[in-house]
Chains A and B, each alone.
Chain A
Amino acid sequence: MQVIVTDRAGDVAEYSVEEFSDLFTQLGDEMKIDALCGGCCSCATCHIYTDASDAMYLSDCDESERDVLDGLLHVRDGSRLLCQLSLKEKMKTLKITIAQSE
């Protein structure tokens, strides 16, 4: 899957990954996200925006993810935690934007 990522500086980069967890690790290593809690749905440092049109392909937002998102200042439609994301249906290309740091 190709993921086109717009980072906090507005730079765009393309990643080819098998799973979102690979992208989570890679963005953490590049210090584009803090990934402070290591992906356990707690710190919200992997907050991203997805396009509404892609929602049908993405896993649903469960209660624990919703709880974390609710506490954020910059939450909006399409807000997700990258660490909790998986695909419901196959897709070739996904566009995401890393939300600004809280």
Chain B
Amino acid sequence: MNNNAMSINDTDIEVLIKNMLSPECISNPYPVYKQLRNHAPVNGLLDYPPGTVPGVDTPYPAWVVTRYEDVDYVLRNPEIFSSEDPMQANSSAPSLMLVNHDRPRHTALRNLAKMAFTPKRIHDNIVERLRLDVNKIVDRSLNNEIDFMVDVAGVIPALVMTYLMGLPPEDYKLLVRWANAFMVSSDFTPEERQSCNIELFHYFVAAVEKRYADIEAGIEVSDDLMTAFINAEYEGDTLSKEEVVLFCITLVVAGAETTTYFIGNLMGVLLEDADWFSKLKEDRSLIRPFMEECLRRDGPPQRLFRLVLQDCEISGQIIKAGDWIAFFMAAANHDESVFPEPEKFIIGRKNIAKHVTFGRGIHHCLGAPLARVEAEIMLNVVLDKCDGIKGSISNSKRQSGGLLAYGFSTLPVELVAKRT
């Protein structure tokens, strides 16, 4: 890494930071990250954490952290970089569980979440049911031009949320809309975004209230994640009713949109190079490394924020306690010093496990195994049922509403049915 490399001057870098929220940068931020990696952190990004509403909430200027080493440092030092989000706390958005907590409450909440969010539950509640539903979704899409984002990628993660929390399956459309509004990466007016936040909150208040009432009345309730959150107990600690509501909301907003983009980005790679389809079809053991390289090169979550608790230094830049930083996992995943030829899609990279798309440290993504299961089922079903995919990446469009996620807003494809 060359700390002294200055490809552009200070004025230019201010312009670069200012333009990070432009639709052009959001839809392809990697060239900008490349320039930013030549610099120590730069202050001044005015961006919006999840749940906040552009046009209503006022962003705090954030330091922009892009080098792998620096992003890793932030992720591994939660005692210096707090997950508390004052901007979100001052907005109309419901606050997120775990995501916005520090130790020691984070540890207590994580232990409670683990009691509910067990791998066995993920497996028993989801895998077979999802496989059946993905088969139906793909069946009805075969040999028609579809928008993969609307008809497949957008459906799977929200459906999974309805299974997990025992919600009516048809409500998946509501969840998609609310999650998209919350994540600040789709086109909504400020009023729509605010009303989505309110609707989302009230939906889960009502659902959780009903569940508590049913349990109290001795009515048999479904053995799902919502019930498990209500019953979770760890060393005498339990979740309050409000915390159960916020956990449900956290799962929806953290799991629905990001996984949708991940599933879409996998399809994008298949369109980019048609050889992948036949390679994966012939050798399914390539699916996992294929997914990991997609998570590295095209990982949807771009950046997170942290509040600095102690004066510190990042790549020689002094950062003061009280400052606000935006650190870009996606920029770290493209750091040439760690992943040579980062723009190339190369499966079997020796250090692929180092990608930081799911974070690292105590805030690593609890839903990572779930996202992988959803993506793997989608790929396997498409490979089982199809002879190929028609379409051109040039007809697709990346979302340009917010810098939080990298993914397609539209991805027209035709899934070509297998000849029988």
Contact = CB atoms under 8 A, between A and B. Distances in A.
Interface of A: 25, 28-29, 31, 34-38, 40, 42-43, 67, 71, 73, 101-102
B352 A40 contact: no
A40 B76 contact: yes
A31 B351 CA distance: 10
- For the complex, would chain B's binding face be called helix, strand, loop or mixed by DSSP majority? helix
Nearest to A37: B364
Contacts of B288: 31
B358 interface: yes
Nearest to A41: B362
B41 to A, nearest CB: 21
B257 interface: no
B351 A73 contact: no
Contacts of B365: 36
Interface string B325-366: 000000000000000000000000011111000101110110
B115 A36 contact: no
Given A29-B352, A102-B119, A38 B289 contact: no
Nearest to B360: A38
A7 to B, nearest CB: 13
B361 A42 contact: yes
Contacts of A31: 288-289, 292, 352-353
Contact of B351 (A29, A38, A101): A29
A71 B76 contact: no
B358 A36 contact: yes
Contact of A28 (B72, B353, B361, B369): B353
B75 interface: yes
Contacts of A40: 76, 360-362
Report, nearest first, the 10 A-B pairs whose CB atoms are least far apart: A28-B353, A38-B360, A37-B364, A102-B119, A71-B114, A36-B364, A40-B361, A42-B362, A29-B353, A43-B364
Contacts of B289: 31
Contact of B361 (A29, A38, A71, A101): A38
B362 A67 contact: no
Which among A25, A28, A37, A71 has the greatest number of chain B C-beta atoms within 10 A? Answer: A37
Given A29-B351, A71-B111, A36 B368 contact: yes
